[in-house]
A and B are shown apart, each in its own frame.
Chain A
Amino acid sequence: MPDAVATRRRGRVYVTKSVAPYLFLLPFMALFIAFLIAPLCYAFGLSLFKTTMVAGTQFVGAANYLKVFTDPSFWDGVVLLFKFGLMQIPIMLGLALLYALILDSGRVYGRNFFRIAFFIPYAVPSVIAALLWGYLYGPSFGPFGQLAEFFHLPKPQFLLDGTILGSIANIAVWEFMGYNLIIYFAALQAIPQDLEEASSVDGATGLQYALRIKLPLIMPTVIVTIIFSIIGTLQLFSEPYLMRNLAPGIINSHYTPNFYAYTLAFTNQQYNYSAAVSFVLGGVVAVVSYVFMLLANRRAA
């Protein structure tokens, strides 16, 4: 009988606990190193050199980085992103939170329908989202312009200097509100039912329960979504890139830092400087996320 466990195994590959984690990590990590770490190292290498049309390539050390720090094209883009983020993130997450609370309250018709419907824009490629909204924004062909014309009202101008940032923010809200809503909704659903019963025994109304019990409980989730939104915002690229044809005067070649990096590499052929810009942007992203986390933690403590 003692032979039962150990010896009857049929030539099966037996992986032990000490080897297993490496084996499980191998496929991801191999690809992670090949397509993330290696390109990053390569890009970092690039950022230390300077290739010119005439003089060839030379090592310049930190010169590209020093240049980024005094490059208004880069910092204008960063400032613009801050404006964009301060506008878009609160609206998007505020709506997501509001609608998640409404859906979770149980006091609606068609809860499942709305939940899915709100999520659908996430499935629309940003290329197509930008294209569709581009049409919708058009003063002549856009339905809003057409409606205004029909009622002899001034046409709404979505693509002017003062409004286009809002118009891009609107696309981002449209695309990602539902995604955040689903996350909040799931977090809300995880709150034990007896809390609602307890608060109701304590005399709280549904609204009070939502704001004073549920909201604080899902705060950790909210903080995570804010951080991800900050990261997403600072990497803004596709929407302005694709909307550029509609408002080339306003969306210039360094509208966002990511866009600037793209222009530097692909139009100006300054691959080295572009790499440095990307790294500084990555640094800005890290710093902003970190500062936000510090603030959030201090609040929580």
Chain B
Amino acid sequence: MAVIELKGVEKSFGSVKVIRGVDLKVEHGEFVVFVGPSGSGKSTLLRLVAGLEETSGGTILIDGRDVTNLGPAERELAMVFQSYALYPHKTIRGNMSFGLEVAGFPKDEIRQRVDEVARLLQLSDYLERKPRELSGGQRQRVAIGRAIVREPVAFMFDEPLSNLDAGLRVDMRIEITKLHQRLGATMIYVTHDQVEAMTLADRIVVLDKGIIQQTGSPLELYEHPANLFVAQFIGSPKMNVLPAAFKEGRISINGGVGIEAGKMTGTDVANVGIRPDDIEISPDGTGLIHGKVDVVERLGSDTFAYVAVPGAHAVTVRAPRDSAVAIGQDVGLTFRPERLQIFAVDGTSLRLRPGV
């Protein structure tokens, strides 16, 4: 397995800078997910690693070898594409064999490897079919199989599940997780879906505007977002953001009551964030802020209440599923101050992480 290292990697298309200096090290057998909104540069970064784009600056090392100027073939990686990119005129076996044929493997070995991987992915019955005769999920498995069969040093996944329907996506997600566990291979996975990122990743790299906003384990990002962008991008429903200010050692939220600030790295407070899970609904007149219930969504497992707060965006609250909250009701909202995220004017998080 491989260690992939990016040092000051940059990429421009014409005068547009898409990647603005990325440093990253992906460890042996690590499953790293690049996540970010569209246009954040996550796919480009993956393609730079794969060698499908040429870097405009910086270096890329695989196992300490400088591959910056090498073509994709010489990087010994495998890639799974969003559209699967199966060769439509070749059979499934042909698709899976192609890379090995190119590399000049003996026929027997190719056959043996393909059979083995097909068994692993439950594709054995389809080997002589053409891609168009397969379902979306099967095609996706072929695309993965084609990657595995070459026994690459690392796998690249470029939004591999986005063409599948919701149910299948969950199944495939689990399959990929299992696959990673079984192969123990280094994997880099790009998605715009933070749920996918949270469920798959050992480590998530959040990108925006060509810059890494934060890297860390899913829980780290969730609990301790480095900035407002990460805070809002990770977690579903989105973290609530309320305007806030630092006054006399306390933080005043939405122009209202001030709460204990705790340990902070600065005082230029502009916003506070609080996740829907961390808010409780209390009777009108109690709580830290108050508002009026606008919409109530009952999902069965959860009930979400959208509460209009004067002077701020609607605040989303996760309530117990049997909550009696009703539309039009005036409510108070309560949360524990230590759950608050505190953000400076430039969006960076001001709360110190535990142990810092």
Tell me, in angstroms, the Cα distance from A2 to B103 when the chains sit together.
Answer: 12
Q: Interface size (A, Cβ < 8 Å)?
A: 12
Q: Do the beta carbons of B105 and A17 come within 8 Å of each other?
A: no
Chain A nearest CB, measured from B178 CB (Å): 21
Q: Which residues of A contact B (CB under 8 A)?
A: 1-2, 4-6, 8-10, 12, 14, 16-17
Within 8 Å by CB of B76, from A2, A10, A16, lies A2
Which residues of A lie under 8 Å from residue B151 when comparing CB positions?
1, 4
Check if A4 sits within 8 Å of B103, measured CB to CB: yes
User: What residues of A have a CB within 8 angstroms of the CB of B74 in the complex?
Assistant: 5-6
Q: How many A-B residue pairs have CB under 8 A?
A: 35
In order of increasing CB-CB distance, the 7 nearest A-B pairs are: A10-B104, A8-B103, A5-B76, A8-B104, A1-B151, A6-B74, A16-B71
Interface-centre pick from A2, A4, A5, A10 (highest chain B CB count, 10 A): A5
Interface hits, B1-39 → A, CB 8 Å: 2
Quote the shortest CB–CB distance from B48 to chain A (angstroms).
14
Given contacts A1-B151, A2-B153, A4-B150, contact A9 B76 (CB under 8 A): no
Asked if A4 and B76 make an inter-chain contact with CB atoms under 8 angstroms apart, the answer reads yes
Tell me whether chain B's interface is mostly helix, strand or loop, or mixed: loop
What are the residues of chain B within 8 A of A16 when measuring CB–CB? 71
| Residues of A with C-beta under 8 A to B102 | 9, 12
| Shortest distance from the beta carbon of B222 to any chain A beta carbon, whole Å | 35
- The minimal Cβ–Cβ distance linking B311 to chain A, given in whole angstroms, is 44
Query: Taking beta carbons and an 8 Å cutoff, which residues of B are in contact with A?
Result: 2, 63, 71, 73-74, 76, 99-100, 102-105, 150-153
Cα separation A215 to B41 with both chains bound (whole Å) = 40
**Chain A minimum-CB-distance residue to B105:** A8
20 A–B contact pairs at CB < 8 A? A2-B63, A4-B76, A4-B100, A4-B105, A5-B73, A5-B74, A5-B99, A5-B152, A6-B73, A6-B76, A6-B103, A8-B104, A8-B105, A9-B102, A9-B103, A9-B104, A10-B104, A14-B73, A16-B71, A17-B71
Q: Which residue of B lies closest to A4 (CB)?
A: B151
Distance in Å: Cβ of B153 to nearest Cβ of chain A: 5
CB distance from B100 to the nearest CB of A (A): 8
Contacts of A2 in B (CB 8 A): 2, 63, 76, 153
Shortest Cβ distance from residue A187 to the other chain B in the assembled complex, whole angstroms:
24
Beyond the given pairs A4-B152, A5-B76, 17 more chain A to chain B contacts, judged by CB atoms under 8 angstroms and listed by A's residue number, are A2-B63, A2-B153, A4-B76, A4-B100, A4-B103, A4-B105, A5-B73, A5-B74, A5-B99, A5-B103, A5-B152, A6-B73, A6-B74, A6-B76, A6-B103, A8-B105, A9-B103
Q: With the chains together, A169 CA to B139 CA distance in Å?
A: 54
A5 in contact with B71 (CB, 8 Å): no
Task: List chain A residues, Cβ under 8 A from B63.
Answer: 2
Contacts of B104 in A (CB 8 A): 8-10, 12
Cβ of A5 and Cβ of B105 under 8 Å apart?
no
CA distance A14 to B70 in the complex (A): 13
Chain A residues contacting B71 (CB-CB under 8 Å) are 16-17
A125 to chain B, nearest CB (A): 36
How distant is A175 from chain B, measured CB to nearest CB, in Å? 36
Bound CA–CA A5/B76 (angstroms): 5
Complex Cα distance, B110 from A8, in Å, reads: 13
User: Least Cβ distance of A8 to chain B in Å?
Assistant: 4
In the complex, what distance in Å separates the CA atom of A12 from the CA atom of B73? 13
Residues of A with C-beta under 8 A to B73: 5-6, 14
**In whole angstroms, what is the CA distance A291 to B73 when docked?**
48
Assembly CA distance A57 to B133 (angstroms): 71
The minimal Cβ–Cβ distance linking B152 to chain A, given in whole angstroms, is 7
Query: Distance in Å from the Cβ of B250 to the closest Cβ of chain A?
Result: 58
